[in-house]
Amino acid sequence: MDQQFHIGQITRFFDLPASTLRYWDEIGILTPHKNHTNSYREYTVSDLMTISDIIFYKNLGISLQQIGAMEQAEPEEHTRLLCGKIEELERQQQEIAQRIQKLHNHLAAIETLGKLRQSPFSPAKIDTDCIVSFDLNEIDKLRQYMENPYLYSRVQHSDSLAIEHRGLTVPRVQRSAIPSDQILWERSADSRYVACLVQESVPDDYRSNLPELLSHIQKSHRTGTIISRFLLHAAENGVVYDFYQTFVEILD
């Protein structure tokens, strides 16, 4: 006679709650013998192998319903099921990779903030080629912003700081597909910039320190276009700010 195991032993072997084993019995994917004297479930070595298989397939993300059907399935059906699961996992893998990239983008923004604090007004190579207009009701552009907030950019000019244009950074390769009236700014090869950290105080009606920063730069240089790229929304000394990496064009 096969060696018999009671439910307490099985729960210890597989680190499973007894309720899980009972549920598997109820739905028919595990069929232990029941002792006629006390109605206790008794498990054989064959049942242990079945439990091992169930755990194996569950760890692959296969549902209990699918596991139950696999016993009567042809090899071709197994192939379809497993290939479908591979496709599903590959989609999840791609989604996870995208989430990881977003986290890296956010960490990079924090790192940029730190560098701007340490070295304000340093010469900088602007990291965008083209900025196009952006309104919140433009769904496609809104989705791009949601994927990477650093794409959000603002265009101003030193002579008229009060006038600002909201936009999104786009790669130069997309330039030909964008109508000219949507282009807010394009990079010139010979333009020079210095970079600084702009802070807008959220509770103070988004008051910006840009005028003070610009005044400091203009003590030494003539300035032109100002490009600000969103970094992050965070607190400093108890005050919430929007932080921007701002590039100020140097004309002399």
What are the pLDDT digits (tens) for 87-100? 999 999 999 999 99
Of 25-29, 71-75, 145-149, 207-211, give the lowest mean pLDDT range: 145-149
129 within some domain = yes
What are the pLDDT digits (tens) for 73-89? 999 999 999 999 999 99
155 within some domain = yes
Distances in whole angstroms, Cα of residue 48 to Cα of each of 31, 52, 128, 204: 11, 6, 61, 67
Helix (H, G, I), strand (E, B) or coil at 248: strand
How many C-beta atoms lie closer than 10 Å to residue 64's C-beta? 15
Within 13 Å, how many C-alpha atoms sit on residue 138's CB side? 12
| Same domain as 201, residue 136 | yes
- Segment 116-125 shows an average pLDDT of 94
Q: How far apart are CA 100 and CA 66, in angstroms?
A: 31
Closest CA to 245 of 31, 5, 232: 232
| Same domain as 236, residue 116 | yes
Percent of the chain with pLDDT over 70: 99
What are the pLDDT digits (tens) for 55-65? 999 999 999 99
| Same domain as 224, residue 166 | yes
CATH number at residue 190: 3.20.80
| Same domain as 142, residue 50 | no
Check residue 2 and give its pLDDT. 66
CATH number at residue 15: 1.10.1660.10
| Same domain as 229, residue 136 | yes
Which one of 45, 72, 99 terminates a domain? 72
92 within some domain = no
